[in-house]
């Protein structure tokens, strides 16, 4: 399954590499961990945090002009859900007609940023344990 988002991905890889510790206090260790992470797998575009595939340049070119890709990587939706966001941006936010690229973009979004089946409330995740004295 594709990563939930780049951040989750980084955390996961961090843990499996055990190269980084649960506390990233210094800037260096953070940057290191990002470096390590990205080279450990090429599937995340370092500049935007988007999943890399053939459609990425088109997605970047059309979807990061106004806002950062973080608005995409935070979100999950079906193809119809992504389509309705695009229509909303076209109707209200000055997004242009995407022409033939619309299908390419929608396929990309629906593939990499699809909703997961989760319950009504998840377990607490990514707990950073620390000693309380």
Partner 1 sequence: MMKKKKGIHALYAEDPIEADRRLWGRVSHAESRRGFLKRSAIATMGMALGGNIVFAHHMPAGLIPASLAHSIQPFEIPGKDPGLVVLNDRPLNVETPAHLLDEPITPADKLFIRNNGLPPASLNVDQWTLSIDGESVQKPKTYTLAELKSRFKSYTYQLTLECGGNGRSEFNPPAQGNQWTVGAVGCPAWTGVRLKDVLQDAGIRPDAVYIGYYGKDVHLSGDPEKVVISRGVPMAKALEEESLIAWAINGEDLPLMNGYPLRLVFGGWPASTSGKWLYKISIRNKVHDGPKMEGDSYRVPCEPVAPGTQVPDENMCIIESMPVKSLITYPRSGARLSQGKKLDIRGHAWAGDLAVKDMHYSIDFGITWQPCTLEKPANRLAWQQWKAQLTFPRKGYYEVWAKATDSEGKAQPMIVPGWNPKGYLNNACHRIAVMVV
Instruction: Indicate whether 103 belongs to the interface with partner 1 (CB under 8 A).
Output: no
Nearer to partner 1, 41 or 61 (CB): 61
- DSSP code, position 26: S
Spatial CB neighbours of 93, under 8 Å, sequence gap ≥ 6:
66
Taking the complex as a whole, how short is the minimal distance between the CB of residue 111 and partner 1, in angstroms? 16
Taking the complex as a whole, how short is the minimal distance between the CB of residue 22 and ligand HEC, in angstroms? 31
Taking the complex as a whole, how short is the minimal distance between the CB of residue 105 and ligand HEC, in angstroms? 5
Instruction: Indicate whether 5 belongs to the interface with partner 1 (CB under 8 A).
Output: yes
Instruction: Indicate whether 86 belongs to the interface with partner 1 (CB under 8 A).
Output: no
Joined together, the tokens standing for residue 3 give: 């990563």
Build a one-symbol-per-residue string for 9-48: x at contacts with partner 1 by CB under 8 A, - elsewhere: -xx------------x--x--xx--x---------x-xxx
Taking residue 69's Cβ as centre, other Cβ atoms within 10 Å add up to 17
Residue 42 contacts which entry, partner 1, ligand HEC, none (Cβ below 5-8 A, type-dependent): none
Spatial CB neighbours of 16, under 8 Å, sequence gap ≥ 6:
none
The C-alpha torsion from 45 through 105 and 59 to 98, rounded to 10°, is 180
């Amino acid at each position: 399954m594709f990563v939930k988002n780049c951040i989750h991905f980084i955390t996961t890889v961090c843990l499996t590499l055990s190269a980084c510790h649960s506390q990233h206090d210094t800037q260096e260790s953070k940057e290191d961990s990002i470096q390590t992470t990205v080279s450990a797998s090429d599937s995340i575009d370092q500049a935007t945090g988007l999943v890399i595939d053939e459609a990425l340049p088109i997605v970047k070119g059309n979807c990061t002009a106004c806002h950062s890709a973080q608005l995409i990587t935070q979100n999950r939706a079906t193809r119809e859900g992504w389509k309705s966001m695009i229509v909303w941006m076209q109707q209200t936010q000055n997004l242009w007609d995407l022409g033939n690229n619309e299908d390419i973009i929608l396929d990309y979004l629906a593939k990499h940023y699809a909703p997961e089946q989760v319950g009504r409330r998840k377990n607490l995740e990514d707990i950073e344990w620390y000693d309380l004295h």
